[in-house]
Amino acid sequence: MPMFLGALSNKIEVSIFMIGVAIERYVLTFVNESNGLFLSRVTRMVVNNTDRQKITSLTIKVGRFQLWAIFYVVITWMLMLNKDKKILNQFLKK
């Protein structure tokens, strides 16, 4: 996909796309790391034959934690970007 984007668009569109790719990679890294933190707990619950409802409840809690953490990162990023509107507008006009 980025190969075709580079061939069919200009450098500003490619740079904006790559910022999105970088953000996506940061989000995926965070999600994978937070899943790794809870893996030992889930494994312990499975080995001890814990009720599936409790495992499902833990999975939902982990998902909510990830959702709120990513939400706060995105909101913070948007607020920081809003402060730098002049810089952003100058970048996009070029």
pLDDT range class, residue 43, cuts 50, 70, 90: confident
Residue 85 maps to a domain = no
> 85 pLDDT exceeds 70?
no
Examine residue 87 and state whether it is found in any structural domain, yes or no: no
What per-residue confidence (pLDDT) applies to 47? 92
Q: Decide if 77 is inside a domain.
A: no
Nearest by Cα to 24 from 35, 12, 36, 32: 32
Categorize the per-residue pLDDT at 91 as very low, low, confident or very high, splitting at 50, 70 and 90.
Answer: low
Average pLDDT on 30-45 reads 84
| Average pLDDT score over residue span 36-64 | 88
Structure tokens at 44: 């312990």
**Residue among 35, 86, 85 nearest 65 (CA):** 35
The answer to whether residue 71 is domain-embedded is no
Residue 36 lies in a domain: yes
Flag whether 57 is in a domain.
yes
The stretch 38-54 carries a mean pLDDT of: 88
Report DSSP state, residue 9: S
Residue with tokens 């990513």: 70
Give the residue numbers spanning the domain of 56.
Answer: 2-66
> How many domains is the chain built from?
1
Instruction: Assess if residue 21 is contained within a domain.
Output: yes
Task: Kindly state the tokens that stand for 93.
Answer: 């006009």
Cα 20 to Cα 14: distance, rounded to the nearest angstrom: 10
